Amino acid sequence: MAVELFEKAPTVEDVLREVSKFKAAVTDAVEEGVESALRAIKQGRYAAEDAIHDTRYAVRRNPFQAMGVVFGAGVVIGGLVSWIGFRRR
């Protein structure tokens, strides 16, 4: 059996056929990857648009609560920035 494997040398056509199969497999994998990435980008965009819409609705429904949240976030961020600034000196 081992002798049979060594007797038949691959021809150029055999090698080209194998290369063609490999090229087709790689091309298909790349195309699937690109399609997956495009789907993920679309889903991310839709999720961001939904979040923006929900935020606008919540602000319109409770404007004073929204102002309080923004004010509180500003105070916390300002405190962190000043604390880090004083700490570096």
- C-alpha distances (whole Å) from 4 to each of 13, 40, 43, 44, 51 are 19, 51, 55, 57, 67
Domain ranges in the chain are: 13-87
- CA 72, CA 65: separation in Å to the nearest integer? 11
**Among 14-18, 76-80, 81-85, which is the least confidently predicted range?**
14-18
| Model confidence at 2: pLDDT above 90 | no
Cα dihedral value 15, 17, 20, 22, nearest 10: -70
Quick one: pLDDT at residue 87?
80
Q: Do 66 and 58 contact (CB within 8 A), yes or no?
A: yes
DSSP E strands, 1-89: none
